Amino acid sequence: MKGKLITFEGSEGCGKSTQSKMLFEFLKRKGCKVIFLREPGSTKISEKVRNILLDAKNRSMSPVTETLLYMACRAQIVNEKIKPALKNAKVVICDRYLDSTLAYQGYGLGMDIELIREIGRFATDGIKPDLTILLDVAVKKGLSYRIRSSDRIEQRSFNYHQRVRRGYFKLAAAYPQRIKVVKVQPEKSRTQDKIREIISGFLSIK
């Protein structure tokens, strides 16, 4: 693959979607060939499954079903969007990827971590991120931003979201070369400045 896959991760309310889109616009202005994607979603099939996954009415969904639905969405976006973009030497910015399943369904729900990795390798065709930006914010503060628009995942207990955050820290400790932790600042621009500093060095752009 000639391109680069840059993923954004983080617990609820960390500003991941906003910051990843800001970076996308920044790289476009710099003349990079770049596309923006979100997980789950970004394809017709994946967007439909996303609605099922996040619908607060689907309270009876089992952890296994949840995990496999996320993986199904991922398999579709990899095949339809990510692989073609990487082959065309594009920079792919993806709002969430396999680390999310490890954190949310693995550390959060207690699904077997190694099983998630194994299914993940199959779903992604072995495509791994070249760089991951992990945005970190205290759970209480992050959830406070989500009160009015809480989906099925966001409605879970405080302890669940604490486990997710701790899971992300474990992943960052295991993959320090790939996962770069960025503390969320009160001003969005300051958080973005730190992200751009990391990305500019990674992509060798000025």
Name the CATH superfamily housing domain 4-203: P-loop containing nucleotide triphosphate hydrolases (3.40.50.300)
Q: Is the pTM of this model over 0.75?
A: yes
Domain layout of the chain by residue ranges: 4-203
Residue range 35-73, pLDDT digits in tens: 999 999 999 999 999 999 999 999 999 999 999 999 999
Q: Would you say 136 and 129 are in contact if contact means Cβ atoms under 8 Å apart?
A: no
The answer for 10, left when phi > 0, alpha when psi is -120 to 50, beta otherwise, is: left
The answer for 146, left when phi > 0, alpha when psi is -120 to 50, beta otherwise, is: alpha
Q: What percent of the chain has pLDDT over 70?
A: 98
Mean pLDDT check: name the lowest of 37-41, 147-151, 184-188: 147-151
Q: What is the pLDDT of residue 185?
A: 96
Residue 145, pLDDT > 90, answer no
Residue range 94-141, pLDDT digits in tens: 999 999 999 999 999 999 999 999 999 999 999 999 999 999 999 999
Q: What is the pLDDT of residue 206?
A: 76
Interhelix angle 63-77/44-54, rounded to 10 degrees, is: 160
- The 10 Å CB-count burial string (b at 16+, else e) for 174-194 is eeeebbbbbebeeeeeebbeb
Q: Which residue has the tokens 């983080």?
A: 10
Q: What is the pLDDT of residue 16?
A: 96
- DSSP single-letter state for residue 81: I
Average model confidence (pLDDT) for the chain? 96
